[in-house]
Structure formats: C-alpha cells, structure tokens
Amino acid sequence: MAAAKKAVLGPLVGAVDQGTSSTRFLVFNSKTAELLSHHQVEIKQEFPREGWVEQDPKEILQSVYECIEKTCEKLGQLNIDISNIKAIGVSNQRETTVVWDKVTGEPLYNAVVWLDLRTQSTVENLSKRIPGNNNFVKSKTGLPLSTYFSAVKLRWLLDNVKKVQEAVEENRALFGTIDSWLIWSLTGGIHGGVHCTDVTNASRTMLFNIHSLEWDKELCEFFGIPMEILPNVRSSSEIYGLMKISHSLKAGALEGVPISGCLGDQSAALVGQMCFQDGQAKNTYGTGCFLLCNTGHKCVFSEHGLLTTIAYKLGRDKPVYYALEGSVAIAGAVIRWLRDNLGIIKSSEEIEKLAKEVGTSYGCYFVPAFSGLYAPYWEPSARGIICGLTQFTNKCHIAFAALEAVCFQTREILDAMNRDCGIPLSHLQVDGGMTSNKILMQLQADILYIPVVKPSMPETTALGAAMAAGAAEGVGVWSLEPEDLSAVTMERFEPQINAEESEIRYSTWKKAVMKSIGWVTTQSPESGIP
C-alpha cells in the first residue's frame, strides 16, 4: 500500500508555553487558529527554605525539547508534515531570573522563581534609599518595589552566589528571564545563541524604562546591576534567530525555523484573547491569577495598587500598547498545595468533585497569602490563613473555600481596575488551566456579578505567542487584521445568586484578608545558601 499522503494544511506555527508549573509545545494552523496537537510536561519546583522557590533552568530547557519532540511525533501520527511549521513563538512565566555562563552554557545557580520571597530584606534596604517625594523606580517602571520583580532577585544572586560574582567579573555572565534563556539556548547557545528579550518581559525586570523602551542607566545603578549582562530588547513580533538544536535529533526536525514571537505569558494571553482595543480585559487562571486591561498607547498609573506594564509591541515599527495589571500570587498554586502538601486531593481535577458535594464553604474562608499578598495590597507580611472553622467543617468545605479565594482575589482586582479606569467591565474574558473547572467559573460570575466568558479553546497564552510569531515581518503567515481574526466560540457563565448575598460573602472575605496581614514581623535571615 502506498504511504499515506501527508495532509496539507497550509502554514503552521508552533508555540513554546513555559509556565510556572508546566511546559507545553503547541502547534496551530495559522489560517484557522485551530490547535492541531500539543504536549505538556510538569515542572518541579524546589523549596530549599521557607519562602524560597527555585527551578532548574536545565530541566526547563529539557522539558521544552521533550515537548517539541513529542508534539512532532504526534503530528507525524496525524499525517501532518512538520516542515509546514513556519515559525515558533515563545511565551513564558515572567520575572523568574536566570544567570548563566556564556562560555560553558551552564546556569550559575537555579532559576529564582517570581513567587520567591528571599529578597524581602533586599527590598527593605533598597526602599530606604528611594526619596519619599520622588519614587523614580515606580514612575519609570510602573512597578512597586517588591520581591516579585527580577532586579531584586538578580541583586540577591550578585550578593550571595560566588559563581555569579566571578562570572560577572570575568565577563562570562548573561542574565535573562526564562524567555531569554530559552531563545539563547534554542538559537545555538554557546554556538552563537541570540541574547535577547522582548519589551513585555523587559518591563517586568524593574530595570526597564517603559516610556523610552530602553534599559535605564539610573535604575541599573540604583540596583547595582552591570548593564553588559542584560539581553537586547526587541519587539514582541520579529525574527530573533533560527532554531539550532544539533544535540537533539528529533527536535532537530525544526532546525532553521525562525523564532519570531516572544511575549510574557500574561501579555500573550491578552493577544490570544484578541484584546486589541483600549478597555478590553482578560483574566488568566494559572499558578497565579492575572487580570490585564489594555489601556492603548497611554500609560495609566494606578491609584489602587495595580501595575502599569507593557501589553505588547507587535513589530519593530509598530506602536507600543500598555496595560494595567492586577497580579494575584496564588491561584492554581492553592490547588497544587491541597494536593501535594495536605493530600486532600490526589489530582487537581478532583477539587471540583469535592466542592460540588457541599456547594458552599459553610462560612469557611481561605486566604492563600503563601507569598505575601500582591495586588491591590502589596503586603509582604501577610501569610495564608483558613478561618471560620467549626466542628462541621470538612475537606469539601476547604476545597470550596479555596476556589472561592481565587474568585474573591479576582474581584478585588476588578474593583481596583474599575476605579482606575472609571468604566466598569460589562463581562470578564477568562482563560488558563483552571477555567475547565465549571464550579470555579460559576462562582466567579456570582462573586463578580457580571457574566464570565470563556473561549472553547483555553490555550490562549500559546495562541498569542503563535500569533505574534506568525505575523512577524519575514514570516507573514498570520494576519492580525480585525477582519481576518477567526471568530472564537465562547461559553458564558451568568451570575445566579442575588447581589446582596454576593456582597455579604465578599465583605467577610475582606475581613479574613485583614487577619492575614502583619503575620510575619521579623524577617528570617536570608543570606547564605543552603
């Protein structure tokens, strides 16, 4: 029998989606935006001490190769010719900090993850040096001084890790967020790898001026960061380099394909949700929860604890778009915690079953401030609490309270956003892994008291990276013109409880939040490496 004919689908685009808890590689049809195949690998997180969160950069890179190989195999089984993959986009967990040796290609320390709290004393020492009347850090970067962003993590590495100090002195060190580490490695690494990042990722380092779109000398001096270790900043959609993976034969099938899209995961989801208009917003439910609202060409500074950040810049000569962002540190991570730390559930999917059994938290409230509170509080002293317990409370109620916590945190951010923008959202566009949980989606609609709208294909982060890559100059297989964007089928969740009940639950939640604040009074010593 003649070999089966390979299906012709027109140009395809691949996307690496490297998140906090997993890595995926997905392949889309650039004409229809249909997801053809993908593969996912969970990533280990290491907690060497309380409040420390690390990952192995080599494990992250290996997981990318594995996902690419497995997805290419799956496409082969579907008779889809992988030579049709014309471009690759990268989207990544933001702020996570890697320093590596450009001569050997080896990381000089584990990646310090965005959630990590070890820099608390670094933050305290730096904040004493910011004049009260002129917060130049915030006005240049749009960000509050917090453990969340890369500059303080990099400062900690320079202060505490001998290998990093030596490599910087000998001019061998390169710094990057995960996108930079991946792009450098995928374009050849020590054999001519490209050291770059895009404006969205750069805007989360605290070293980047979001007005001039350049690394800022004054900020680098303030944090004591040598500018020569920083990556080149590019737009989110242009050819950075070509895939060059000689050591891995199967992944080598994509040799020579341009890497032409790069967006921090939250910006990628904004693009994937087609929020190209001023005032459009999306909320992504991943390890954390991130609500971004497109504010167009203008920087809007928040009066209510939100961040001002770069939404995207889709081409070298294209204008930059800004966003207001509300960041919640712990969303999906609370489910992982119930699974791995308490053993209440065996798999993340199980939480929906438990919550459904009781249909209420029975007065139990869960504030998962494991890494302090992010927006709108920016309160590093907070810690997680579960309160309102009675003899009647069981694991089902705690599971329900954990889901409610995600919804309440989102409501706090939406309230802040409505106050900053002055135009309340009429509905909320959602995406991310947790949106497959129908109870969570219904709860979210009830607690916000507006409809929640979810695309039937939830992988919007990867889709955004693929769109940026396919639309890049020199690739041109994906049109971002409004009339060419394929209509997405949506699922809607309408609020089902009365507004009064929603308000009572929300105000009790706020009471619980107040109890979680001010928990940590003295910082544990942070210097020295375990």
- Predicted confidence (pLDDT) at residue 158 exceeds the cutoff of 80: yes
Give residue 522's pLDDT: 55
Give the residue-averaged pLDDT of 186-204.
95
Secondary structure, 3-state, 381-438: CCCCEEECCCCCCCHHHHHHHHHHHHHHHHHHHHHHHHHHHCCCCCCEEEECHHHHCH
Tens of pLDDT, residue by residue over 420-435, are 887 788 889 999 888 8
Give residue 250's pLDDT: 54
Give the residue-averaged pLDDT of 496-505.
84
Does residue 345 sit in helix, strand or coil?
A: coil
Q: Which residue has the higher pLDDT, 51 or 18?
A: 18
Give residue 251's pLDDT: 52
- Predicted confidence (pLDDT) at residue 71 exceeds the cutoff of 70: yes
- Predicted confidence (pLDDT) at residue 520 exceeds the cutoff of 90: no
Give residue 189's pLDDT: 93
Give residue 78's pLDDT: 92
**End-to-end Cα, the chain, rounded Å:** 62
Is residue 25 within 8 Å of residue 15, measured between CB atoms? yes
Give residue 85's pLDDT: 93
- Predicted confidence (pLDDT) at residue 280 exceeds the cutoff of 90: no
Give residue 419's pLDDT: 87
- Predicted confidence (pLDDT) at residue 257 exceeds the cutoff of 50: yes
Give the residue-averaged pLDDT of 327-339.
83
- Ranking 124-133, 249-258, 300-309, 391-400 by mean pLDDT, the lowest is 249-258
Give the residue-averaged pLDDT of 463-484.
90
Give residue 6's pLDDT: 54
Q: Per-residue confidence at 527, pLDDT binned at 50, 70, 90?
A: very low
- Ranking 3-12, 67-76, 208-217, 228-237 by mean pLDDT, the lowest is 3-12
Give the residue-averaged pLDDT of 169-189.
96
Q: Would you list the DSSP string of 17-42?
A: EE-SSEEEEEEEETTT--EEEEEEEE
Q: Which two three-digit tokens encode residue 303?
A: 């009066």
- Predicted confidence (pLDDT) at residue 528 exceeds the cutoff of 60: no
Does residue 467 sit in helix, strand or coil?
A: helix
Does residue 130 sit in helix, strand or coil?
A: coil
Q: Which residue has the higher pLDDT, 469 or 497?
A: 469
Give residue 346's pLDDT: 85
Give residue 84's pLDDT: 92
Q: Give the H or E element holding residue 289.
A: strand 289-296
Give residue 4's pLDDT: 47
- Predicted confidence (pLDDT) at residue 192 exceeds the cutoff of 70: yes
Give residue 3's pLDDT: 46
Q: Which residue has the higher pLDDT, 373 or 203?
A: 203
Give residue 7's pLDDT: 55
Is residue 295 within 8 Å of residue 323, measured between CB atoms? yes
Give the residue-averaged pLDDT of 288-303.
89
Mean pLDDT of the chain, nearest integer: 89
- Predicted confidence (pLDDT) at residue 133 exceeds the cutoff of 90: no
Give residue 201's pLDDT: 97
Closest CA to 478 of 467, 487, 491: 467
Give the residue-averaged pLDDT of 465-493.
87
- Predicted confidence (pLDDT) at residue 474 exceeds the cutoff of 60: yes
Give residue 178's pLDDT: 97
Tens of pLDDT, residue by residue over 357-375, are 888 888 999 999 888 888 8
- Predicted confidence (pLDDT) at residue 72 exceeds the cutoff of 90: yes
Tens of pLDDT, residue by residue over 375-418, are 888 888 889 999 999 999 999 999 999 999 999 999 999 989 88
pLDDT-above-90 percentage for the chain:
61
